[in-house]
Amino acid sequence: MTELTVRTSKREEIVDITDQIQKVVTQSGTQDGVCFVFCPHTTAAVCVNENADPSVKVDILDQLHRLIPPNLRYHHTEGNADAHIKAVLVGNSLFVPIVKGRLKLGTWQGIFFCEFDGPRTRHVWVQITPSISQ
C-alpha cells in the first residue's frame, strides 16, 4: 500500500489527484489489475468526476454546500457536522481498472480528493492489485 499526502488550503476544496495515483500505478509495474483508493478521514472523501472543466468542481461544492449548509442546528457540536455528512454522501473509496499500465478512466474523468473540513494535511491510501494472469 502507498500513502499519498494531500495538502488542502480551503475549508471545502476538490483536488485532482489523478497524476499522483497514476505515478503509484506506474511505479508498481502493474500492467493489468485494479487500483483501490481509500480516504481514511471522516470529513473528506474521494470521487471520480470530470477533470476537463474546472467549473464542475465549483458546481459540486456549491450544491453540496446548498444541500448541507454548515450553519444548521446539528447534534454534533464540533462545527464540522456538515463535513461528516458530505463525506458520507461522496464516499471514502473507489476502484479504477488498470489496463496496459494506465488507469482506465473515461475521456473526461479524473480522481479527486474532496476536502470538507480544511485546510489540512490529509492522506489517501492506494493499493494496487495485479490481475491473476500477470
Q: How many folded domains does the chain comprise?
A: 1
CATH number at residue 24: 2.60.120.460
Residue pair 84/18 in contact by the 8 Å Cβ criterion:
no
What residue type is assigned to position 118 of the chain?
G
pLDDT digits (tens, 9 = 90+) for 87-112: 999 999 999 999 999 999 999 999 99
Residue 84 has pLDDT above 70, yes or no: yes
How do residues 42-59 score in pLDDT, each as one tens digit?
999 999 999 999 999 999
Scan for cell 480516504, then name that residue. Answer: 39
Assess contact for 116 and 82: CB atoms under 8 A: yes
pTM of the shown model: 0.95
Domain hosting 19: range is 2-130
Q: What percent of the chain has pLDDT over 90?
A: 96
Q: Tell whether the model's pLDDT for residue 134 goes beyond 60.
A: no
